[in-house]
Structure 1
Amino acid sequence: MKKYVYRFLVLGILVNFMSCSTTQQLVLTTMEPSPVVISNSIKKIGIIDRSAHIAVTKGTNKIDQILAAEEKWLTENGTDAAITGLFDELLKDDRFEIVKLLENVPEDVLAMGATPDAIAWSSITALCETNGIDAVFSLAFYDADTKVSLKKTKMQQADMMRELQEVSAQELTLETFIENGWRIYDPMNQRLVDEIVFNDQIISKGTGVNPVLAYRAIGDRKETMLKSSRNTGSTYGQRLLPSENSVSREYFVKGSEKMVYAAEKASAGNWQEASALWNEETENPNAKVRSRAYHNLAVAHERMEELENALSLETKAYEIQDDKLYLNYIDTLQKRIADQSLLQQQMVALEFSK
Structure 2
Amino acid sequence: GVLTGEGLFADRAGSFECVRGVADGLVSSPRFSIIVPPEKELKGTGTRQFPEPLDWNTVERICRQNQADALLALEVFDSNNLYSDRKEQRTRKENDKEIKYDVTVTHVRSNIESGWRIYDPAGKRIIDESIFTDYREWEAEGRTHKEALVNLPPQNEIVKQAGYFAGTQYARRISPSWIRTGREMYKKGNDDFKYAKRLAQTNRWEDAADVWHKYTEDPDPKLAGRACYNMALAAEIAGNLKEAVEWAEEAYVRYNNKKAREYSYILKNRLFRQQKLEEQMGE
Give yes or no for TM over 0.5: yes
Q: Note if 1:78 corresponds to 2:14.
A: yes
Alignment of 1:309-320 (within 5 A): 310-320=244-254
Question: Which residue, out of 109, 130, 151, partners 1:196?
Answer: 130
* Alignment equivalent of 1:101, drawn from 15, 22, 40: 40
From the superposition, tell whether residues 151 and 297 of structure 1 become closer, same or farther in structure 2 (CA, over 3 Å). Answer: same
Which one of 183, 204, 210 corresponds to residue 250 of structure 1? 183
Between the aligned residues of both structures, percent identity stands at 19
When residues 187 and 330 of structure 1 are mapped into structure 2, their CA distance, relative to the original with a 3 A threshold, is closer
Is 1:154 matched with 2:85?
no
Note the C-alpha offset of 1:185.
3.9
Structure 1 CA distance for aligned equivalents of residues 102 and 162 of structure 2: 34
| TM-score relative to the length of structure 2 | 0.62
Q: 2:74 aligns with which of 98, 114, 139?
A: 139
Shift in Å at residue 224 of structure 1? 5.3
Which one of the candidate residues 192, 201, 213 is aligned to 1:269?
201
DSSP-derived class of the 2:5 partner: helix
3-state DSSP of counterpart to 2:220: coil
Paired residue total: 262
**What amino acid is the match of 2:101?**
V
Q: Secondary structure at the match of 2:230?
A: helix
- Describe the superposition over 1:151-189 as per-residue Cα deviations: whole angstroms up to 9, x where unpaired: 322235799x9x995411122222222221111345675
Q: Structure 1 residues 277, 165: closer, same or farther in 2, change over 3 A?
A: farther
Q: Which has the higher contact order (CA 8 A, sep 6+)?
A: 1
Cα displacement string for residues 174-228 of structure 1 (whole angstroms, at most 9, x for unaligned residues): 2222221111345675422321234322121112222222232234675354134
Q: For residues 157 and 216 of structure 1, do their structure 2 counterparts lie closer, same or farther at Cα, with a shift above 3 Å needed?
A: farther
Q: Does 1:68 align with 2:5?
A: yes
TM-score (norm 1): 0.52
Aligned residue type for 1:328: Y
**1:230 maps to amino acid:** Y
SS in 2 for 1:193: strand
Superposition deviation, residue 277 in structure 1 = 7.8
Counterpart CA distance in 1 for 2:234 and 2:6 is 58
Question: Map of 1:1-354 to 2, 5 A cutoff?
Answer: 64=3, 67-70=4-7, 74-85=10-21, 100-103=39-42, 105=43, 111-112=49-50, 124-125=55-56, 132-133=61-62, 137-155=72-90, 165-186=99-120, 189-219=123-153, 222-223=156-157, 225-233=159-167, 243-246=176-179, 248-251=181-184, 265=197, 269-270=201-202, 282=216, 283=218, 285-287=220-222, 290-305=224-239, 307=241, 310-320=244-254, 321=256, 324-332=261-269, 334-335=271-272
SS of 1:310's partner is helix
